[in-house]
Amino acid sequence: MTASVAVAQEVSLRKRKLLCHFRQLPAGRAPELFHRRPRSFGDSDERELLAIALGATLYAPATRDDLAATIRRRAARGVCSMVIDLEDAVADHEVEWAKAQAVAVLDELAADPDPNPMLFVRVRDAATITEIAEALGPGAGVLTGFVFPKFDSLTGPSYFAALAVATQRLGRTVYAMPVLESAALVHRETRDRELSRIAELLAAHREQVLAVRVGATDMCATFGIRRDRDLTIYDVRVVADVIADIVNYLGRADGSGFVITGPVWEYFADHERMFRPLLRTAPFEESDAVKFRQYLVSRDLDGLLREITLDRANGIQGKTVIHPSHVAAVHALSVVTHEEYSDALDILRADVGGVAASGYRNKMNEMRPHRSWARQTVLRARVFGVANKGVSFVDLLTALVTE
């Protein structure tokens, strides 16, 4: 490792400590919204905390002429993780130029006085990992890791071998985020065998795996499906079944699992709707935000909000996003409610089993079955904060969108 790379890494670690969700809010708004404010995070934090902190991971093509400026703008607006894409977003004849651009942008961002998001490069193949690592100068200090597309039991070993070379070259941990989207995983007759092999492979490289991403678009393509904007991915049964099995094999709370992130929501423009909006009016009336609800519906964000809620219900954290308007929705729904936090603390305080009424007097907390949920909730609270009592996702989302 060269001296310039070592210096860049030291600067990067200091800067990343300043990463914090909702830092774009004016200082006066935070006390109104948060019972416990989000804490800052960086490379020195544990892997699971960083995985939860990913939040909305925004993809950007490596071929964008203004890529460095775009990353800076998104960081200023609260994006804490981004992927520089060399795969699907780049035409075949532009790949070599895109690689050079990715390296140049990372090197440029290393000199920034302000914190950058956690930055990843989505490669096309394992060989590109080595290429990028060897080409980087000071940009080595702002690279968090690589995204492995179309990851399966056959391609996985070569990806991890290349990651080991990159780790040695850069002199520190470089994280992997494999994307599960291959046909062998989707097809019913091969899925269990494939997931079992993937689970073994990821377990062997546990400390390098930051999170497992779900590639629902490629899964849909296996069946010639493109889901409609009026539907969530959980309405597409053949894909929902795959997601359920991924969580079953890789999302267990017994210490063998990983953080699994939600698939992309593809829509962001006005359109004629076939079905009724998915957002109830009442929460917006209570917050005097009926016009804001109309804005969300017109931008197809009601479907996104519904899907994020279903992601969480199915054991999934964070989400891949392709449009900046989606970031606020993911982050607003990632804030721990005051009620959730109260329940989680009550459960974790109990050293023995049993059942007790929630402090909100509206449910029963079972101390042993709910303990894993409580631990994950407190972990999420550390990076996304805890809302004040009476503050809803509508209040949080309105603040993020209008500021």
pLDDT at 364: 85
CB atoms within 10 A of CB 154: 12
Query: What is the C-alpha separation between 216 and 205, in angstroms, rounded?
Result: 24
pLDDT in tens, 79-105: 999 999 999 899 999 999 999 999 999
Q: Is the pLDDT of residue 136 over 90?
A: yes
CA–CA–CA angle 12, 328, 260 (5° rounding): 70
Q: What is the DSSP letter of 123?
A: -
Residue type at 359 in one-letter notation: G
The end-to-end CA distance of the chain, in Å, is: 43
Give me the phi and psi of 230, to 5 degrees please: -85, 0
Partners of 213 in the β-ladder:
179, 261
Confidence class of residue 300 from pLDDT cuts 50, 70 and 90? low
Of 115-129, 141-155, 344-358, the poorest mean pLDDT is in 344-358
In the chain, the domains with their CATH numbers are 3-332 (3.20.20.60), 338-384 (no CATH)
Q: Is the pLDDT of residue 158 over 60?
A: yes
Give me the phi and psi of 257, to 5 degrees please: -95, 180
Residue 194 near residue 178 (C-beta atoms within 8 A): no
CB atoms within 10 A of CB 10: 11
Stated pTM of the model: 0.90
32-43 exposure pattern, b = at least 16 Cβ within 10 A, e = fewer = ebbbbbbebbbb
Of 54-58, 205-209, 303-307, the poorest mean pLDDT is in 303-307
In terms of Cα–Cα distance, which of 287, 286, 323 is closest to 304? 323
